[in-house]
Amino acid sequence: MTMNGSVDLNALEKRMKQLELNFQQQNARKKPTNLGMGNMSNSQQTSSARPHMSLNFSNSSPASLMKSSSGAVDTAARKKQISFALPASIPQPEKTQESEKIDARLQEVIRQTGKLRIDSMIYEAKVEQFENLGQIGSGTCGQVYKMRYITGHVMAVKQMHRSGNREENKRILMDLDIVQKSHDCPNIVKCYGTFVTEVNVWICMELMETCFDKLKKKINGPMPENILGKLTVSVVKALHYLKEKHGVIHRDVKPSNILVNKLGDVKLCDFGISGRLVDSQAKTRAAGCTAYMAPERISPDPSHPNYDIRADVWSLGISLVELATGVFPYHNCKTDFEMLTKILEEAPPELPNDQNFSIGFKRFVSFCCTKDYRYRPKYRDLLEHEFVRRHEHSMVDIPAWLRKVLITQTKAASLDRCGNPMQGNIASSNDPFAFAAEITKAQFAKHTRTRSLGTGFEFTKIPPNQTNKPTSSKSIFR
């Protein structure tokens, strides 16, 4: 400022230039060095630069700075001299085609929620109309409850929690999709309807008596060949139906996913980790139970990394060996690594010669347990096999056999509990329900093998810290 109080613009301009030069020098000293990143291009350096303010004093004389040609103060020209370099806006991530399909399918399922189709009748149902009769099973993705609808129909309700995880939503929708579309297949568990909210998914299915994994534990020994013949016919037809009608591979065939009802009907269930076939091949590897996994899924051929429905044929063969002998083929393995090593390096399991198995049954199991998938049969070949054709039309009284197994096991448990002095005299207790409670507790305490990478249900396992009733309707359906 001069003596007469006016502003010295030349001195102010020099001062501002000096401040800008000092500011640039300080930034240059603070700029991090390029550690192991090589030479960056000018475009990379420009795109990674921080926002900055530039001051232009090239035309900062008093006349050009303060006045326009008309004599008025040119504010527009003054604003142009101060500019800010801002980074480009970050684009929002676009939804993939797969996620869009999942969302669309979920919305379609939500529109059908609350509708039960039972015996050609459609009911507009609410969860308050269900009576919980107890928990009958549990798995990694939810619990299964026995429930009675107000019409008197008793069904199995699988309750799964929606966590928002994309992979879990895929499993839920896959299970829903398959059971809803397979209503015309008598070898697959029927679906009556679904309830879907932002918190939970309920799948209402027909109630089956038990699974073959639980029956194996009750028998504690080999199962009759004629029963396994009927099981084989039903499972092969169900797998063939999934492949031909819906292009799906199950990927979790094992005794706990093969159910039977009081009428003797054998059906396949649990499709949460089923996979779509692309050109008759599956690409996802981390799915299914390790113990029943085919060799080509454990150690894939580099020239043929994908697998097809013959992987489920191997799983069926292992299941038949386990049920026919009463012992899992790799039961002596202490770790999963040891078991996988035996599957890859040792000869495949087969039915022993010292038991009275038919030649056809032994040949069928050998075909299923062929290590080289290229020589393993597909479903059409299995349906034409002599073992399947013989049992497809044979007369087997499965309901009578099932009743005998359940009654015999109940009597054995009763004698064991009453005659064992180490357990105390439960029968003489004043509590009339003490005996039943102890029997139930002992059954649920049995060890169940669950070496699984997927979401298979074990119908004999109840996880710790779980109550025996589902979440109340007020907290699930709002």
Mean pLDDT, rounded, for 284-288: 53
CB distance 104 to 437 below 8 Å: no
CB distance 314 to 369 below 8 Å: yes
SS3 content of the chain, % helix, strand, coil (to 5): 45, 15, 40
Distance CA(111)–CA(314), nearest Å, equals: 39
Least confident among 1-5, 25-29, 395-399, 434-438:
434-438
Mean pLDDT, rounded, for 153-180: 80
Q: Please indicate whether residue 168 or residue 207 has the higher confidence score (pLDDT).
A: 207
Give 474's pLDDT tier (boundaries 50, 70, 90). Answer: very low
pLDDT for position 406: 87
Q: Angle 453-135-196 (CA atoms, 0-180°, nearest 5)? A: 70
Q: Which two tokens stand for residue 388?
A: 């399947």
Q: What does the DSSP assignment read for 31-97?
A: SPP--SS-PPPHHHHHHHPPPEEEE--TT-SHHHHH--TTSS--HHHHHHTEEEE-PPPPPPPPPPH
Q: Classify burial at 327, counting beta carbons within 10 Å of its beta carbon; exposed 0-12, middle 13-18, buried 19 or more.
A: middle
Residue 329's nearest CA partner among 340, 319, 341 is: 319
What pLDDT digit, counting tens, does each position of 198-252 carry? 778 888 999 999 999 999 999 999 999 999 999 999 999 999 999 999 888 888 8
Q: What is the phi/psi pair of residue 67, to 5°?
A: -130, 150
DSSP 8-state symbol, 307: B
Least confident among 133-142, 229-238, 399-408, 457-466:
457-466
**Most confidently modeled range among 37-41, 196-200, 451-455:** 196-200
3-state secondary structure 281-293: EECCCCCCEHHHC
Distance CA(235)–CA(245), nearest Å, equals: 15
Least confident among 241-255, 257-271, 381-395, 408-422:
408-422
Give 462's pLDDT tier (boundaries 50, 70, 90). Answer: very low
Per DSSP (E only), the strands in 45-190 are 52-55, 82-85, 115-118, 121-124, 130-139, 142-149, 154-161
CB distance 249 to 243 below 8 Å: yes
Other Cβ atoms less than 10 A from the Cβ of 385: the count is: 17
**Most confidently modeled range among 43-52, 168-177, 218-227:** 218-227
Q: What is the phi/psi pair of residue 155, to 5°?
A: -145, 170
CB distance 226 to 387 below 8 Å: no
Question: How high is the mean pLDDT of the chain?
Answer: 74
Distance CA(343)–CA(68), nearest Å, equals: 89
pTM: 0.64
Q: Going from the N-terminus, what domains does the chain have, and what CATH number goes with each?
A: 99-207+470-476 (3.30.200.20), 210-396 (1.10.510.10)
Residues forming a β-bridge with 137 = 144
Give 41's pLDDT tier (boundaries 50, 70, 90). Answer: very low
CB distance 458 to 446 below 8 Å: no
Select which of 175, 177, 213, 252 is catalytic. 252
Cα-Cα-Cα-Cα torsion 109, 115, 120, 121, nearest 10 degrees, comes to -170
3-class SS of residue 268:
strand
pLDDT for position 173: 78
pLDDT above 90 coverage of the chain, percent: 35
The verdict on whether 213 is a catalytic residue reads no
Ramachandran quadrant class, 416 (left: phi over 0; alpha: psi -120 to 50; beta: rest):
alpha
What pLDDT digit, counting tens, does each position of 292-345 carry? 988 988 887 776 667 788 989 999 999 999 999 999 999 888 888 999 999 999
Distance CA(116)–CA(21), nearest Å, equals: 78
